[in-house]
Amino acid sequence: MEIQTTEMVTRKATPYDVTYDVFGIKTLFVNVFFIGEPGPGNPWVLVDAGLPGYADTIRQEAEKLYGPNPNGGPCKPQAIVLTHGHGDHVGSLKTLLKEWGDVPVYTHRLEMPFLTGKSSYPPPDPAIGGGGMAYLSWVFPLGPIDISQQVRTITDDGHIDDLPGWRAIHTPGHAPGHISLFRDSDRTLIAGDAFITTNQNALTAVATQALEVQGPPAYFTINWDDARQSVKKLADLVPLTAGTGHGISIRGLDLTLELSRLVDHFDQRSIPSRGRYVKEPAITDENGIVSMPTPTSYHVARGMALGAVIAAGLYFILRRR
């Protein structure tokens, strides 16, 4: 399938596209989305900013969909919305903002300390086990980054001026201020990492992108009670199509059935049997970390020993896909 996006460029559809005006691409193992009808000069919004080193990829995709800018200058979005501020979702953000200038960045107020230089996130937990990505999680960046001049908080009712027709829904658990985006008119959902469509803990699943509806990536989830409630909140919306932070997009009956199964069996399918945050959550507020449970990450040494091999394998496997 091909999508005629501009007078000059025809873009092939990707497994990460969601609807006629929501397009997705994968940056190694995390997705970013472009919201807006394709066409030269049409307004659009970027959701998340992927891993470091993917700014050029994101810019090029934007130009296929919405550019080149008929008025000259870069093809830039009206706004950037962050589902949360983990390093794999904001890795290329500062590079993009250097070119795009005064583009506003929207986030939930509980993500602000991690985006204004105040606090790092609670650390990931390799003790959950479950695969190579979990063991590798100790190397993932914790932040914070500082984009104080451009970041804005989303209003409590979820309204975003630059994204009419959509609303932000607070879906914490994976991150304190995690949000998902929902459009009521056609029940389109961008879930972020509230739930995902691959087993992000396992290296082989990440490499193959095998469809498997799961709760949030376990190694970075700091409050499992909140995560459970967030999945239920999204299922209650009865979305018709969904894009997620990891894995391919899902729609129709597959989405309805899989999301229902996830709600009914969340603990068995998503919550690890062990780990730092399984029995006790990390506590954060508008200033960052308040308290954390004692580490139980006895697998860190094993993860460190395997880290270099896993990192190299992950890079080459995913780059070849």
Q: Please choose, from the candidates 4, 10, 1, 70, the residue with its C-alpha nearest in 3D space to the C-alpha of residue 37.
A: 4
Q: List, in sequence order, every residue forming a beta bridge with 182; answer none if it has no partner.
A: 167, 189
Express as a percent the part of the chain with pLDDT over 90. Answer: 74
Strands 105-107 and 151-153, sheet pairing: parallel
Side chain identity at residue 107, one-letter code: T
Once rounded to an integer, what is the mean pLDDT over residues 165-183? 98
What is the model's pLDDT at position 305? 40
What is the model's pLDDT at position 246? 97
CATH value of 2-320 in 3.30.930.10, 3.40.50.620, 3.60.15.10, 3.20.20.70: 3.60.15.10
Strand 166-170: give its sheet, edge to edge.
166-170, 179-183, 188-192, 241-244, 250-251
Domain boundaries, the chain: 2-320
What is the model's pLDDT at position 8? 42
Q: What is the DSSP string of 158-196?
A: ---TTSTTEEEEE--SSSTT-EEEEETTTTEEEEETSSB
Name the one residue in this structure whose structure tokens are 């030269």: 40
Is residue 115 within 8 Å of residue 144, measured between CB atoms?
yes
Structure tokens at 141: 């960046």
Q: Tens of pLDDT along 73-82?
A: 789 999 999 9
Strands 179-183 and 188-192, sheet pairing: antiparallel
Measured between alpha carbons, how far is 296 from 175 in angstroms, rounded to an integer? 20
